[in-house]
A and B are shown apart, each in its own frame.
Chain A
Amino acid sequence: MSIQPAIDSDLRQLAGDSERGLPDFAETAARLAGGGSPYRDDRPGAEARRRALIESRLIEVALMPVGLERVYVHRVARAAAGGAALLGAAAIMVGVLDPWTGRMLQILSGMPLAILAPVLIGFATLAAYVLAGLIAEHHVERRLRDAVRSRGELYTDIEHLEAARPLEEVRRMVNGVDAVAVALPLLGASLGLAVCGFLMAFYFLPGNQMANAAYYSLGPVALVTVLSIAFVIDLARACVRERKSPSRPALLVLAEHWGTLIVGGLLGSFVLWYGARVVEGVRVAGFVPGEGKRLLLIATAVAAKVLPLTWTLLWVRRREQRRVSG
């Protein structure tokens, strides 16, 4: 008898034998879903891993410095307050430029624009600060909750929990609002104060003179506003650059220097003295200073506000950065 038929027959038997009792594909699928756990039934192991990861993340959240969350909340609140001041100032300026809106604002509030401006801007700023603080607090809490939350599916949870880094997440959030928390308050405060100052300076003048003075001062105010916006944008970009580059941007170094505060104080004193003279001249002699002098006065007034404000905001920011990095 030839051997080959025997071999062929055995091969057929082997084929039939190996097809018997094939396990279900679900077993392979479960192992693959587990990423190749050494356990044949890796579910209990995976569940233990999930519990351990949740516990570890909870500990990380519990040990997270409270200051980190507070910094985020304050930054968001500051940015929102600055934004509200900016909007309030814009609304008042529309009221100044458009007589119909101005009259409506006066009728609705029962106050003249010069009084309404600080009240409106102040109230909007305060309300935005409180509300944005509450929202930011809720937001941080939700993100932290997400970091330790189970989503129902075991392996998705493990993947998610392994990737979650609550501390890094909050740090990223804090750094994300860094530039805005400098730019918006600075812009809001400088423009809000400019609008209030602009209105109050001319509020005490007789009707025609006020209208004329205000009208003729709009150009210089607009110019100075544009310049201050450019400065604020550059400052915000410098804040972003500072985190990414090992060397500190020159603008930041300059703005954080004590000299900036002193220069701001000197400019403020000059504005008070020169502004008082101008107002007195207008009231007594009806003499409105030339355009160059008005531009000088407005630019100095804005610089006298912006410089100390910048210094103060950057000082607060430095303290916050220390808390974040610590």
Chain B
Amino acid sequence: MRPGEPVALSLVPERMERPSQRLCRLLEPLHAELRTCARRLCRSTADGDDLFQEAALRALGKIDMLDSEEAFRAWFYRVLLSVHRNRVKRSFWSRLVPIGDREPAGEPTGDVGGAERIRLALASLPVEQREAIVLHDIQEMSVEEIADVQGVSESAVKSRLARGRKQLRSIYKKRFGVIDLATEALVPGGSP
């Protein structure tokens, strides 16, 4: 091959499945479920999308360690939660400073939507409790599945759920006051 000669194009023969191809194959059917879970764990949709992308890249680096493809869902959840916890730990400011479509941090205004309200309330919870509530109450995972994903016992999950719910109620009571479910209008200072 002499320099300057045109570069010939040809097709390569079929080769073994590359890690990225394997991950895409496994991830595609679960994409919607996992991405929505990532969005629910974060303060905003954009944060959730970033979390999902970061988890996907982390999973790409570790896909060789996945023994059984049947266990991929739980495995990816574990990766997702691990990345989520790292993000929460390493960037405290990111929970406070909004980026993109995030609402400004601080006390919500009176016309805040239900989704935004629960996001704010969840963001105030310890990360383990937040994960447990999101996985159980929104993702509809069983306690056993959450215990597997979080790597703790079932009783620990139940405890996290109970304490998380209690704290949520407390946050709703203190920060949002009485809620009129019909209008979603906030009445500050009221009692539920």
Q: A6-B192, A144-B1 are in contact. List 8 more A-B contacts (CB 8 A).
A: A9-B114, A12-B114, A13-B115, A18-B115, A25-B31, A28-B27, A28-B31, A152-B10
Q: Are B36 and A22 in contact (CB under 8 A)?
A: yes
Q: List 20 A-B contacts (CB under 8 A).
A: A1-B180, A2-B192, A3-B179, A4-B169, A6-B179, A7-B165, A7-B168, A7-B172, A11-B118, A12-B114, A14-B138, A18-B45, A25-B27, A28-B52, A31-B53, A32-B24, A36-B60, A62-B2, A148-B1, A153-B12
Interface residues of A in 122-167 (CB under 8 A from B): 141, 144-145, 147-153, 155-156, 160
Contacts A1-B178, A3-B172, A36-B60; A23 near B49 (Cβ below 8 A): yes
User: Please, which residues of chain B bring their CB within 8 A of the CB of A19?
Assistant: 32, 36
Majority secondary structure, A binding face: helix
Q: Which of A53-61, A200-208, A226-234, A280-288 contacts B (4 or more CB under 8 A)?
A: A53-61
Chain B residue with the shortest CB-CB distance to A151: B12
Decide: B179 and A1 in contact? CB cutoff 8 A: yes
- Majority SS of interface residues in chain B? helix
State in angstroms the CA–CA spacing of A28 and B28 once bound together. 9
For the complex formed, measure the closest distance between the CB of A295 and the CB atoms of chain B, giving whole angstroms.
55
In the complex the two chains form, what is the Cα distance from A54 to B45 in whole Å? Answer: 40
Contacts of B138 in A (CB 8 A): 11, 14-15
Taking CB atoms, residues of chain A closer than 8 Å to B180 are 1
Q: Which residues of A contact B (CB under 8 A)?
A: 1-19, 21-23, 25, 28-29, 31-33, 35-36, 54, 58-59, 61-62, 141, 144-145, 147-153, 155-156, 160
Tell me the minimal C-beta distance from A157 to chain B in angstroms: 9
Q: How far is the CB of B5 from chain A (nearest CB, A)?
A: 8
Q: Is the CB of B179 within 8 A of A32?
A: no
Judge if B16 is at the interface, Cβ distance under 8 Å. Answer: no
**Given A3-B192, A22-B36: A152 touches B45 (CB 8 Å cut-off):** no
A13 and B56 within 8 A (CB): no
- What is the CA–CA distance of A144 and B24 in the complex, to the nearest angstrom? 33
Interface centre among A14, A19, A59 (most CB of B within 10 A): A14
Q: Are B10 and A149 closer than 8 Å at their CB atoms?
A: yes
**Is B57 among interface residues, defined by CB-CB distance under 8 A?**
yes
Residue contact B40 to A15, C-beta cutoff 8 Å: yes
Asked whether any CB of chain A lies closer than 8 Å to the CB of B113, the reply is yes
Chain B residues within 8 Å of A17, by CB? 45, 113, 115
Beyond A11-B137, A13-B118, is A18–B8 a contact (Cβ under 8 Å)? no
How many residues of B are counted as interface, with CB atoms below 8 angstroms from the partner's CB atoms? 50
How far apart sit A49 and B33, CA to CA, in the bound complex (Å)? 34
Partner of B11, one of A28, A31, A32, A152: A152
Q: Mark B108-143, 1 if CB is under 8 A from A, else 0.
A: 000001110111010000000000010001100000
Shortest C-beta distance, B35 to chain A (Å), equals: 6
* A275–B90 alpha-carbon span in the complex (Å): 92
List, in ascending order, chain B residues with CB within 8 A of A6's CB: 114, 172, 179, 181, 192
B23 at the interface (CB under 8 A from A): yes
User: Taking each of A3, A54, A144, which has the highest tally of chain B beta carbons within 10 Å of its own beta carbon?
Assistant: A3
Q: Are A10 and B115 in contact (CB under 8 A)?
A: yes
Contact B9 A18 (CB under 8 A): no
Whole-angstrom CA separation of A2 from B119 in the bound complex? 19
What residue in chain B is nearest A51 (Cβ atoms)? B7
- Given A11-B138, A58-B1, A28:B56 Cβ within 8 A: yes
Residues of B within 8 A of A13 (CB): 113-115, 118
Residues of chain B lying within 8 A (CB to CB) of residue A36 = 57, 60-61
B117 contact set on A, CB distance < 8 A: 10
B2 contacts across to A, CB distance below 8 A: 61-62
- Given A1-B178, A22-B35: A32 and B57 within 8 A (CB)? yes
Measured CB to CB, the closest approach of chain B to A24, in angstroms, equals 9
Chain B residues closer than 8 Å to A21, beta-carbon distance: 45
B163 at the interface (CB under 8 A from A): no
For the complex, what is the distance from the CA of A25 to the CA of B35, rounded to whole Å? 10
B179 engages A151 (CB within 8 Å) = no
Contact mask B31-62 → A, CB, 8 Å, 1/0? 11001100110000100110011001100110
Asked if A61 and B28 make an inter-chain contact with CB atoms under 8 angstroms apart, the answer reads no
